[in-house]
Structure formats: structure tokens, C-alpha cells
Amino acid sequence: MDAKESVKEWLTSLISGIVSYPDDVRLEVKSDEMGVLYTLFCNQEDSGKVIGKKGETATAVRKLLTATGMGKGIRASLKIAVPDYRSP
């Protein structure tokens, strides 16, 4: 298993422990010369849990991801896909 997939499994496991609907957690992986971007999709009811108050949970997860990625030799970053709640 390569480093990207290893980090993806770890991140999926971490996020699944935070949310109420772990089966809805999905990660997309894109890589380029800048590094690896993990895009997180989850149940819309879990968006607030993943982001946390003032973004503290998201910040902590990003810090852990950066450290884990460095340990695996990749530059990893996280994007959280949040559904748009605004009315049309």
C-alpha cells in the first residue's frame, strides 16, 4: 500500500470516530506537484462535528494530517466539502 492510501485509511478511521454516520464518510484523493489533497464528504448532519466550534476540530485534524503526511513523506492537506444551506 502506498503512502497516499495509507494516510487515506488513517484519516477515514479518524473522521469516522468523530461523526454520527460513519458509513457516509468518503474521501477523494488528488495529487499534483504541490502535494496530496484529501477532500472529505460526510453526512450533512455531521458537518458541524467535523468542523467544530470556531473550526477547532478541523484545525486539529489538519495538523494531525500534516504531521502524518510528513511521516509518510507526502505533503497532505484537507478540504472539507460542506453542503450549501443557502436557499436559492
Cα 35 to Cα 66: distance, rounded to the nearest angstrom: 11
pLDDT per residue as tens digits for the range 51-78 = 999 999 999 999 999 999 999 999 999 9
Q: Mean per-residue pLDDT for 10-18?
A: 95
The residue extents of the domains of the chain are: 3-80
**Does 88 score more than 80 pLDDT?**
no
**Among residues 65, 70, 88, 4, which one has the least CA distance to residue 80?**
65
What is the CA angle 36-42-48, rounded to 5?
Answer: 105
CATH fold group of domain 3-80: GMP Synthetase; Chain A, domain 3 (3.30.300)
Q: Mean per-residue pLDDT for 19-40?
A: 94
The pTM of the full predicted model, rounded to 2 decimals, is 0.89
What is the CA angle 35-41-29, rounded to 5?
Answer: 25
Query: Residue 81 region, left (φ>0) first, then alpha (ψ -120 to 50), else beta?
Result: beta
pLDDT per residue as tens digits for the range 30-47 = 998 889 999 999 998 998
